[in-house]
Amino acid sequence: MKFSSLVQRIGGDGSDAWLIHYAALAARERGEDAIILSVGDPDLATPAAVVARAVEALHAGDTHYTAVRGRLALRTAIAQQHYQRCGQLVDPEQVVVLSGAQNALMVALLCLSETGDEVLSLDPMYPTYPATLETSGARVIRVPLDPQHGFRFDLEALRRAITPRSRVLTFATPGNPTGLILSERDLAGIATIAREHDLWIVADEVYAGLAPGGRVPSLARELPDRVVTIGSLSKSHAMCGWRLGWMVGPRELIDHSENLVLCMLYGLPGFIQEAAVTALAMAAEAEQRARHYCDRRAALMFEHLRGVPGVTVLMPEAGMFMLLDVRGTGLQGRAFAEGLFREQQVSVIPGDAFGAQTLGFVRVGFATDEALIIEACRRMRLYCEALAATRLR
């Protein structure tokens, strides 16, 4: 039987990024002592008031169809948070509620790009980005961020990547896997290029609430006609499984998105939207809790990985992950990750899942119990010491 060419695009280079993670999940289900550092799902509970509001709405019978674009109260709350974060005053009609940030990213790219277009994205990038961005038939063009310069934004690399087919520029800030935040200077350069080449900008800010002060520099106010902002409650409120995200952008784009969502989701569950209104009302408190949680665990992991032979730790500016440069062990990221799981049952994501710039790296998540972090670091140290001993023979 014949399949659409879409199956090749969605089964791209990042589709096997989770093989070690799945193996670790299976090992844990068998009762084995596996430690999973390969996903960003914090072991925090969703705030009690948010859960209570969802339960209350369920008991009240809020289980029917809802407005496709999202309920007005929720879109109003999202618009208010957007204004507080970046200073862009938007109408609730410039907001569409979606099933998580990744769903929002796909909807945006389906409405902004098509076959023959090129979508620029900073490399390294989240493993599912290429498939998500290419669903429309567009081609992803990776803009390399040099590990020798700490994966900092490179304006000239972006300029070199531009062609007459360039249509959209996407980036995450804070980044995943780097945890780096694009600065005001970085964004000024991006704004210049966007104007020169008539580019849409899609900014994934799912980790913005974990950045210092709960915000990141933004171009939404400066370029309101070409910037699309994506957000969610997954990381800031420990609501990964609730699957609620959103997109903020020009009204015409949101209108087109609503037509697409009509065919795709037909609105999110009402009880989840009611819970999200409660979540946004307590955003400052929830985000502060998440920042404290992440900052403490990042520092703990950094301290316990200090001096591990062959490993250099890149401390993130925000988020739930850090990159480990493992080239000093004599291994590339995938071989290191496979060996670490095989020998010590610790799962991490190999760097090649994020692009060619991170071949010699692995991504390690620290959104877990502190005792597990310490134990995982102990096991990584044992593994690296064994590698070092083998190299000395």
Contacts of the segment 287-290: beta carbons below 8 A, 24+ positions apart? 287/209, 287/210, 287/214, 287/236, 288/214, 289/44, 290/42, 290/44, 290/209, 290/210, 290/235, 290/236, 290/237, 290/238
Q: What is the mean pLDDT of residues 184-191?
A: 98
Instruction: Sheet containing 166-172: give its strands across.
Output: 95-98, 245-248, 227-232, 200-204, 166-172, 118-123, 139-144
The dihedral over CA atoms of 163, 166, 172, 174, expressed in degrees to the nearest 10, equals 40
pLDDT tens, residue by residue, 45-84: 999 999 999 999 999 999 999 999 999 999 999 999 999 9
Q: Please classify residue 73 by burial: count the beta carbons closer than 10 Å to its beta carbon, then call 0-12 exposed, 13-18 middle and 19+ buried.
A: middle
User: Could you tell me if 323 and 180 are in contact, meaning their C-beta atoms sit under 8 angstroms apart?
Assistant: no
Q: What is the pLDDT of residue 46?
A: 96
Mean pLDDT of the chain: 95
Query: What is the percent of the chain where pLDDT is above 70?
Result: 98
- On whether the CB atoms of residues 102 and 132 are closer than 8 A, the answer is yes
Of the candidates 253, 257, 264, 267, the residue with the CA atom closest to the CA atom of residue 68: 267
Residue 13 has a pLDDT of: 61
Write down the pTM of the prediction. Answer: 0.93
pLDDT beyond 70 at 12: no
Sign of CA dihedral 91, 263, 237, 183: negative
In the predicted structure, residue 340 carries a pLDDT above the cut 70: yes
Evaluate whether 338 touches 16 at the Cβ level (below 8 Å): no
Instruction: Answer whether residue 8 shows pLDDT above 80.
Output: no
45 DSSP 8-state letter: P
Domains of the chain (ranges; CATH) run 6-45+285-392 (3.90.1150.10), 48-282 (3.40.640.10)
Measured CA to CA, the distance from residue 226 to residue 223 in angstroms comes to 6
More confident of the two residues 10 and 217 = 217
Q: Is the pLDDT of residue 391 over 90?
A: no
Percentage with pLDDT > 90 across the chain = 90
pLDDT digits (tens, 9 = 90+) for 160-184: 999 999 999 999 999 999 999 999 9
Tell me how far the alpha carbon of residue 138 is from its chain's centroid.
21
For residues 21-42, average pLDDT: 90
- 286-304 pLDDT per residue, tens: 999 999 999 999 999 999 9
> Could you say which DSSP state residue 169 is in?
E
> Reduced to 3 states, what is the DSSP secondary structure of residue 115?
coil
pLDDT exceeds cutoff 70 at 14: no
For the beta carbon of residue 388, count every other beta carbon within 10 angstroms.
Answer: 15
DSSP symbols for 283-298: HHHHHHHHHHHHHHHH
State mean pLDDT over 250-271.
Answer: 96
Instruction: Give residue 39's pLDDT.
Output: 86
Q: What pLDDT, on a 0 to 100 scale, did the predictor assign at position 366?
A: 95
Whether 16 has a pLDDT exceeding 80, the answer reads no
- Are 65 and 266 in contact, with CB atoms under 8 Å apart? yes
118-162 pLDDT, tens digit per residue, is: 999 999 999 989 999 999 999 999 999 999 999 999 999 999 999
